Chains A and B, each alone.
Chain A
């Protein structure tokens, strides 16, 4: 009996030692996570006071302190509370739901903090089961970019388990769980490790009731642009067939069509100077180039240069680029005519028409115009040369060969430069175009023109304007906006404008939205925020119930406006309830509007960027 007891006690001792060793192994693993020297690489994080969006009392100080404490314990350098409070008092900052660029700079200069942690509480209910929803984001004080964003929505009865053992009945315990999740997600980001759950909507998909995506835009919401490869070209009579290339960039997965036709020029059609009737180009999926052919009459007589202006119009599933018109010049056979300007005794001056101009990289070409002070009876010849002064790359070709000839009787001529559009994000380039010594003219005041080629491959910026709130829930528009910001940042490929900066501009412009954003308001915001896209919409429901038993409901519509055409690129409407798709034992039930909205928004953003 004794030996049996001693055997049992020995077995128990071995088991305890085994468990202790096993736990030791586990702890060693988590210590390794904590040991990442976060404060060694990151300047301090300033944890701002909470923004309370619930409309009810919230233990804001406790939640904020819990997050700061958790971050400190994980090794993150957090700015002192006193420093933060003094800063807020000095700058009279009362709104802590976002920061604008001035506040960010001031924080950096005065406190040395490299980023600010902004936290918003969207739901806090103490009735059993308690509910809490917190959203947090880390914003750089240098660039005002959103470095990290995450949110958590919890209900005490999320995982009741067997016999209700998993229920959380105390709000404090739920808040602790929520803050721990957020702090863990942030430290994971700061240590450069990717979250297992990031990069897509979590849980079930909630497809919108209806959705529209303009097929003129690709997956990154960049437009499929149609344009001529060159802005101008030419040839003599008897050239035969002139071939003008039209390009589509980037290639589309759908068929694209565009009409083309004559829109002006001095040449005459119907076989006199050329034969051309216009038509429609059809790009098959993935096709990027098409050719328009113009038959130039070979037997026509003419002395002067004549032009044909061809334009693209009515694109389907694409948009027209800068170079939607092309000028084809039929060079005259004998430009030296009888002199009608004999009375001109003085030699004219030749000069550029302006000192500088800027064009986007996708403009396909640029024309630098040289003008004479008055017309003359002789051809004026002007040699010219290019010099790249900034940017370092030579992504251009001069269509006009040096020297430029301003024909007798004409007052100006263009140096046409074709630009190569690439997909690289790079700095703007500068070309200096300078003239040499002209023949039959004197050099004028402007002998040099600087052409700036602006890069169009920068990351597209998107401003999420607070949704227009039609629901009875306070701040529901801002809450849905934060969900979109989170999913857009997670999706990557966009520069998401900090909401604090948007709020500042809305206040500056005194914009009060009535039933959503108007095109005039959108135009002002595009300019002030320098954004490429504006995402906004309307919230019709964002319902949570106090206590147990209720079912959350979220209902919103989304509108995405594009800057250039001020057109709607995306529109969708979503309405879901927490029990959608739930059939047995509440399995899959979503208990907070925060989590439901998060999944719905995740699905919308996924579809938008598909």
Chain B
């Protein structure tokens, strides 16, 4: 009787341990790197206007400006000014600048002399509310399309901010929007370079 109970406990422990180990092996599925791509060959990029799924109609442009600055400051690649990208979009006749087709990306590459185009989606930008508590939240995803082959070589997503347990218990309103945006963009860039 005692042995059976001990065996049962051992079985439970084994199952729990296995679950724990399996969980640690699981990937977050928020990053993709084309293993055949030589990212060092990407010397200049055009950051396209970001698709905006939020209520703030300028959220896409706000995040785009932060992203451009952060990407430039890595000194790893040159980022074209937004006005130059707009000129390219207009001359190439890109139907939807937020998601250019491979053919359009190729055309942009030739016109703007860039190696890749970066597109992005702003999914959340603003205050998240729960009861009487609120905090700033930013959720982004981005991808890079190499212009020669017209294929996506990198994608990443990041979500920062939101209501923490501390906010829920003691209030406080979370971090300022610019801090949350910067943290989200930094995480995205970490996923590009690591």
Contacts and interface: CB of A to CB of B under 8 A. Distances in A.
Interface of A: 208-212, 215, 468, 470-471, 513-521, 538, 540-541, 555, 557, 559, 561, 567-568, 571-577, 580
Contact of A540 (B49, B62, B177): B62
12 contacts: A209-B69, A210-B182, A470-B61, A513-B83, A514-B86, A516-B82, A519-B84, A555-B62, A571-B73, A572-B69, A575-B62, A580-B176
A557 B47 CA distance: 15
B86 A516 contact: yes
A209 B181 contact: yes
A123 B65 CA distance: 26
Interface string B48-67: 01000000001001100110
Given A470-B58, A568-B81, A573 B69 contact: yes
B82 A538 contact: yes
B81 A516 contact: yes
B75 interface: yes
B61 A212 contact: no
Contacts, number: 91
A593 B164 CA distance: 31
Contacts of A215: 75
Contacts of A468: 83
Contact of B86 (A515, A572, A575): A515
B152 interface: no
A163 to B, nearest CB: 30
Contacts of A574: 178
B62 A518 contact: no
Contact of B79 (A211, A470, A520, A568): A568
Nearest to B179: A209
Of the four ranges (under 10, 10 to 19, 20 to 34, 35 or more), the interface on chain B belongs to 20 to 34
Contact of A557 (B65, B85, B86, B185): B65
A515 B182 contact: no
A137 to B, nearest CB: 26
Contacts of A577: 176
A385 B3 CA distance: 111
B181 A212 contact: no
Contacts of B179: 209
B87 interface: yes
B87 A514 contact: yes
Contact of A210 (B66, B78, B80): B66
B83 A515 contact: yes
A377 B114 CA distance: 53
Interface in B135-194: 176-179, 181-182, 185
B70 interface: yes
A209, A215, A538, A572, most chain B CB atoms within 10 A: A209
Contacts of A538: 61, 65, 82
B72 interface: yes
Contacts of A212: 69-70, 72-73
Contacts of A519: 80-81, 83-84, 87
A169 B118 CA distance: 51
A362 to B, nearest CB: 24
Nearest to A515: B86
A538 B78 CA distance: 19
Contacts of B79: 568, 571
B18 interface: no
Contacts of B178: 209, 574-576
A209 B66 contact: yes
A515 B85 contact: yes
Given A538-B61, A540-B62, A516 B72 contact: no
Contacts of B75: 215
A455 B81 CA distance: 31
Q: Which of A513, A575, A580 gathers the greatest number of chain B CB atoms within 10 Å?
A: A575
A210 B62 CA distance: 12
Given A210-B182, A211-B73, A571 B83 contact: no
Nearest to A316: B75
B94 interface: no
A516 B83 contact: yes
A559 to B, nearest CB: 6
A374 to B, nearest CB: 44
A575 B126 CA distance: 14
Interface in B80-102: 80-87, 90
B68 interface: yes
Contacts of A470: 58, 61
Given A210-B70, A211-B69, A470-B61, A518 B86 contact: yes
A520 B82 CA distance: 13
A132 B87 CA distance: 38
A576 B176 CA distance: 9
B177 A575 contact: yes
B83 A518 contact: yes
Contacts of B82: 515-516, 538
A555 to B, nearest CB: 6
A209 B178 CA distance: 6
Contacts of B58: 470-471, 540-541, 555
Contacts of A576: 178
B81 A518 contact: yes
Contacts of A471: 58
Q: Top 8 nearest A-B pairs by Cβ distance?
A: A516-B83, A515-B86, A557-B65, A212-B73, A212-B72, A210-B69, A518-B87, A209-B178
Nearest to B73: A212
A571 to B, nearest CB: 5
